[in-house]
Structure 1
Amino acid sequence: MVADVAILMGSDSDLGVMKGASDILQKFGIDYEVAILSAHRLPVETAAFAQQAEERGLKVIIAGAGGAAHLAGVLASHTILPVIGVPIMNGPLNGVDALYSTVQMPKGIPVATVAINGAANAGLLAVHILALGDNKLGQKLKDFRLDMGNEVRKKGLRLHDLGFEGYMLHKGGKK
């Protein structure tokens, strides 16, 4: 199996967040690989991964990291493949430092950056990129969007039928 997407993270503590990307890719039937790499602790291996990614058949790299969060940027500096950065919430700044580190890339080395802990959207962005060359995948993506809209409609109808208080009770919420 040749993976289309790599899901990379700076630490095993990021696994819980990055599972969001994995879940989305599985839902769409996209082959992916997962690895832990560190821009600071494994700089040679991280650069080599990025340099060999295209040759290995990868099409998109998703990279999640917290704190200094240089993983996505370092990967992007060593490949022309699209790199999607996922800032991970941690530390006293709750991921804002990771967001700034990921999104503030120098001209010429872009990293597509999603929200803090936004791994599911990173997975969806990878699906969008892959769908550009795959009509069947594009249709799955359109169907996914229709399903999301239908869920919102159902909730709206339920709210209309039950009223605010009834809906909150039905959801297990508090008055």
Structure 2
Amino acid sequence: MKVAIFFGSKSDIEVMRGAANALKEFNIDYKAYILSAHRVPEKLEETLEEIEKEGFEVIIAGAGLAAHLPGVIASKTVLPVIGVPVKAQIEGLDALLSIVQMPKSIPVATVGINNSYNAGMLAVQILSIKYPEIKEKLINFRINMKKKFIEENGEGVEL
């Protein structure tokens, strides 16, 4: 099981690191690429063909501004694509709206602005459908998350 992470600029590395961190928590292999849908479309298409041959199963794509990268990727593969709007201008709303407004029949699942960790978690959930060991880890993750929350907040707080 492998996930590909794409983003268009070195400046997106810190935002997209959250996706890698989520995947690492579940021991899911991933590979990250800096490729632009506009500046190197041929290299993007070549890389998409390679990852399909290599058995990647989910793609996470982060983009800001016009945010075409997730949509362009979705138009060139049938693998599930999760878009991460990256905050660049107007608080990232431009990217969010660009990614979420995909044309009919070419969907891109979209998470919150700069929330690549949730993109990683959505990839985990998608993979858990096929891989029972991932599903078991995800169930345990949720149980532990709830326990930790109750331990930290269950007794009330001083205001």
TM-score range, shorter chain: over 0.9
Give the Å deviation of 1:53. 2.6
Query: After the TM superposition, which parts of structure 1 deviate over 4 Å for at least 4 consecutive aligned residues?
Result: none
Larger RCO: 1 or 2 (CA < 8 Å, sep 6+): 2
What's the secondary structure of 1:137's corresponding residue? helix
Report if aligned partners of 1:85, 1:112 keep a CA contact under 8 Å in 2.
yes
Q: CA RMSD in A?
A: 1.2
Could you say which residue in structure 2 is the equivalent of 1:65?
63
Query: Does structure 1 residue 10 correspond to structure 2 residue 8?
Result: yes
Instruction: Structure 1: state its 5+ residue gaps.
Output: 166-175
Give the Å deviation of 1:54. 1.7
What's the secondary structure of 1:117's corresponding residue? coil
Give the Å deviation of 1:51. 3.4
Q: How does 1:155-166 map to 2 (within 5 A)?
A: 155-159=152-156, 163-165=157-159
Match for 1:97 among 53, 78, 94?
A: 94
AA in 1 matched with 2:158: F
Match for 1:144 among 135, 141, 152?
A: 141
Question: TM-score under structure 2 normalisation?
Answer: 0.95
Instruction: Structure 2: state its 5+ residue gaps.
Output: none
Out of 48-57 and 66-75, give the one that drifted further: 48-57
Give the Å deviation of 1:48. 2.3
Give the Å deviation of 1:47. 2.1
Give the Å deviation of 1:158. 4.3
Give the Å deviation of 1:44. 1.2
Q: Give me the whole-angstrom Cα distance separating, in 2, the residues matched to 1:141 and 1:60.
A: 17
Q: Give me the whole-angstrom Cα distance separating, in 2, the residues matched to 1:158 and 1:22.
A: 34
Question: TM-score under structure 1 normalisation?
Answer: 0.87
Match for 2:108 among 99, 111, 133?
A: 111
Could you say which residue in structure 1 is the equivalent of 2:41?
43
Percent identity between the aligned chains?
A: 50
